[in-house]
Amino acid sequence: MKKQKKGLLAAIVVLVLLIGVYLALRAAAPEEDQSASTEADTKTAFEIKAEDISELSIENGKESYHFSRKEDKWTYTEDENFPLSESQIQNVVSNLTSISAVRELENTENLADYGLDNPEIQVTVTDIEGKETELKFGDINDAVSGCYMSKSGSHKVYLVDSSVKTGLEVKLTDLAEKEEIPSIAASSVKKVEINRNNETQTLGEEKSSETGWSYKDSDGRIIAADSSKTGEYMNQYSTVAWNDFVAYDTDNLAEYGLDNPTKVTIDYQVTESVPEEKVKDTEEDEKADSGENGSEKDEHAQGETEAVKEVTVDKQVVFLIGKQDTEGNYYAKLQDGKYVYTLLQSTVESMLNINPEELVSSLVSDYSFADLDKVTFVRNEQTYAAVKKEVEKEKSPKGKNSEEEDAEPETETKYYLNDKEIDKNLFTTFFSTVTSMEWQEQIKNAQVQGTPEMMITFEKEGGIQNTVEYYPYDTNFYLEKDTKGNETLVNKMKVKEMLDSFDSMIKKWEKGKE
């Protein structure tokens, strides 16, 4: 019971302390702010039509900018060649056209209480008749999400929405025109090429690759790239965005390291709608063919419609990457662009970081038999060529009628080994041990003796031509070598499983021939 009383007493003491702190904070605030205000209390502190503003000056800390409007176009007065974004400056202007105050504070002798003796932001608005209005923005009142503002010609202090002040906290570079970076879907990217220090890396589609993708390093070595990992890398190009505008004068690119840049080239495709030649309406065409008079032909000409079709168009965008700025971000520009920007450090390093070890497929032979023309196996000095053929299904001798005899013949796919049919399931079971084989480690210049225990050649006309060989290596691994120059170590037990499956398949196939 005594413990409960002590706990209650402690809670009361804490509550009294909190109330004391709250009252102290209230007392420290300007007296005029201590009464609540509602939306119904709002009054107009400043109002002007956007088209009536001819000049605008913004002093933001140590920076000051002056803008003028002529013939409905805004320019940066200090440098009329500066590529000012019309939409961005209009956003600033619209922020000032109607400023409402939730409170009007009078008899405010000490402007320092409101941060208006040395305001953080000062704006001068000049109308088309030359009248100037000076607006000063001071401290933020977090309790009501408001900001204190004063206006020339008035002794009042206004409590306005803090968004008015934050909308004026802009740098000149924030207001610059930014060239559009094409929107590139990951699935549309066909190739990325990175040229840095006269060395080139390429990641792109490759018909001769078992995965459909390949990576080529600066030494010319080509490896199959895993399709899902490639997609993950390509995905970043859909979100590349400029960080800051830097300069429009590109005469001195060396200043930004862009005189000898790293070049990132992205080849991609888009679908576009293009007009075809005018096509004739079927009915009117028939009338013209029937020899109707000239007036009817004129009507026919007016009835022509323009057809549109979807076509795939090849596109390319090239980023030039320079040196880093003081914040670690990279200077960059589009190859055919006019301006210099920065890209975030994380964006550039992700673009340039093509690590072949992370991209390469862990599968030794990631092929589908359905996509190949022929696969040849050499085992124990015997050669076996596997192919597939479309053959006509045999018709049942019963129930034939004239309709069945006139119908298109049905076909089916059959598998053949050295021109002798092999059970499809039997072959598929074995072939899955080939395509699921994974390497454990990549090596170079491995020394082997003798002939391979298995040699497999994958062929497809106009594309794939790759031979994979399996050699005994040590107590744990087989060595796998292919015609693309890859050398990897493969789990010995997995290779044995493949060899046993092949030998078993051949025995059953040969028995079936008897």
Q: In the 8-state DSSP scheme, what is residue 396?
A: P
Contacts 24+ apart (CB under 8 A), 231-237: 231/186, 231/187, 233/192, 233/203, 233/354, 233/359, 234/186, 234/187, 234/189, 234/192, 235/186, 236/347, 236/350, 236/351, 237/184, 237/186, 237/189, 237/192, 237/266, 237/268, 237/351
Answer yes or no: do 50 and 135 share one domain.
Answer: yes
Torsion 409-410-413-414 (CA) sign:
negative
| Secondary structure element (H or E) that encloses residue 506, with its range | helix 492-513
Q: Is residue 130 part of a domain?
A: yes
List the one residue out of 329, 308, 331, 307 whose CA is nearest residue 246.
331
Residue 327 in any domain: the answer is yes
Residue 362: what pLDDT? 85
Pick from 447, 438, 420: nearest CA to 493: 438
The reply to whether 5 falls in a domain is: no
φ/ψ of residue 115, rounded to 5: 70, 20
Q: Which amino acid is at 333?
A: K
* Helix pair 492-513, 424-435: axis angle to 10 deg: 160
Residue 403, pLDDT score: 58
Determine, yes or no, domain membership for 148: yes
> 313 and 379: one domain?
no
Residue 311: inside a domain, yes or no? yes
Together in a domain, 351 and 389: no
Query: Residue 21 falls within a domain, yes or no?
Result: no
pTM of the predicted structure, to 2 decimals: 0.68
Chosen domain end from 175, 201, 230: 175
> Does residue 401 lie within any of the structural domains?
no
150 & 199 share domain: no
AA letter at 224: A
Q: What is the pLDDT of residue 287?
A: 55
Q: What pLDDT, on a 0 to 100 scale, did the predictor assign at position 409?
A: 77
Domain that residue 149 falls in: 31-175
Q: What per-residue confidence (pLDDT) applies to 273?
A: 85
Instruction: Provide the 3-class DSSP secondary structure of residue 330.
Output: strand
Q: Is residue 6 part of a domain?
A: no
Is the domain of 132 the same as that of 195? Answer: no
Looking up residue 352, the CATH number of its domain turns out to be 2.60.40
* Number of domains forming the structure of the chain: 3
Please tell me whether residues 99 and 206 are part of one structural domain. no
Q: Which one of 140, 175, 210 terminates a domain?
A: 175
Same domain? For 375 and 475 the reply is: yes
Residues 190 and 314 in one domain: yes
316 and 191 part of one domain? yes
| 3 state DSSP class of 34 | coil
Q: What is the pLDDT of residues 83-100, one digit of tens each?
A: 999 999 999 999 999 999
- Tell me: do 163 and 223 sit in the same domain: no
The conformational region for residue 430 under phi > 0 = left, psi -120 to 50 = alpha, else beta, is: alpha
What 3-state DSSP class applies to 199?
strand
266 and 315 in a single domain? The answer is: yes
Longest dimension (CA), the chain: 115
Mean pLDDT per block of 10 residues along the chain (514 residues) reads 54 62 48 42 90 95 92 93 95 95 87 92 96 96 90 93 94 93 93 95 87 88 86 93 93 94 96 69 52 51 66 95 97 96 96 86 87 94 95 69 65 93 95 94 85 94 87 95 89 97 95 73
Q: Do 348 and 386 belong together in one domain?
A: no
Domain final residue, candidates 118, 146, 175:
175
Q: CA–CA separation, 71 vs 58, rounded Å? A: 21
